[in-house]
Amino acid sequence: MDLIFADPPYNLQLRNDLYRPNMTKVDAVNDGWDKFGDFAEYDTFTRGWLSASQRVLKETGTLWVIGTYHNIYRVGAIMQDLGFWFLNDIVWIKNNPMPNFRGVRFTNAHETMIWAQKKKGAKYTFNYQSMKALNDDLQMRSDWNLNLVTGKQRIKSKNGLKAHSTQKPEALLYRLIMAASDPGDVVLDPFFGSGTTGAVSKKLGRNWIGIERDKKYIRVAQRRIDAVQKADREAVDVVKRKQVRIPFGALLENGLLKPGQILYFAKNGAKAKILANGHVRCGKVTGSIHGVAKSLMENAPANGWDVWFYKDENGKAKTINELREQLYSTRNLHV
């Protein structure tokens, strides 16, 4: 598998029915598949499916797991015990959360996704430019504001009731599948439910495998996926731009920046002077734009092209990456 998305039972531990202030019953998640005797039983179940997922995941593959405060910390600890390496945690902020009817806690308005690779240090797929494009050409952040599934998006059974109690929004799967896989990759969902992962995978030109034991859900998912129109290859095969490497010094050679000019660090406004050899000096630290940025971020990885700014003739701050893009376009260096 190139990518696995898992939406396991959350072990919500609901014991009693929940009612609104007007005494109407809340249609909560009380399915049998979400009931476990205790935490030990849930941990055994979790370790089982995570181990199986790890076995079939490529060395370069990644795993996404979604959950709430009821289960995500237990799942995360077991993932680390098994050797998964965390890349990010993504917070899905629900724009339309269910209220807390009893008024005894904060409204639960988010869920957490863990994004992890199978093997620390292995190459993995992250379509950074596609995520940036989806976000109006701004870096995609780890807080995703998306609606719960409601109205026409909710898959209904033949009797008009919702077909699955925990159906996830297609927007959520669209974003993570676009981020962490390429057309033709195989996406696995071990808790397939109403088939959201399969529907979005088909739409985006990915192959998919869904595992589901409830025949009722299988029928719902099959009808849903059969109705999806697969996009043509040109639409989904977003070509990753390959560029000839341009060193920072080329900006000096071409007169886009000058020795002695000041750069500004995005995080804290620290100033660095550009040296004639293409290095920059910030305080007592001298080195490449990447190395000096890394030192300012306490040795965290840093891409200097994105975190250093210069000021144009009008005093407007711009990233030095804009100058690199300008040099690419004038020198026709796309390959």
| pLDDT attached to residue 234 | 77
Task: Convert the pLDDT of each residue in 286-315 to its tens digit.
Answer: 999 999 999 998 888 778 999 999 999 899
| Residue 333 predicted with pLDDT over 70 | no
| pLDDT attached to residue 163 | 64
Length of the chain: 335
CA angle 103, 75, 146 (to 5 degrees): 55
Domain map (residue ranges) of the chain: 3-236, 249-331
| Residue 178 predicted with pLDDT over 80 | yes
Across the range 10-38, mean pLDDT stands at 62
Q: How far apart, in whole angstroms, are the C-alpha atoms of residue 64 and residue 69? A: 16
Q: What is the DSSP letter of 228?
A: P
Contact at 8 Å (CB) between 300 and 308?
Answer: no
Across the range 317-333, mean pLDDT stands at 79
Fold (topology level) of 3-236:
Rossmann fold (3.40.50)
What letter represents residue 263's amino acid?
A: L
Average pLDDT, the chain: 86
Pairing type for strands 143-146 and 110-117 reads unpaired
Across the range 26-53, mean pLDDT stands at 82
**287 three-class SS:** strand
Strand partners, 293: none
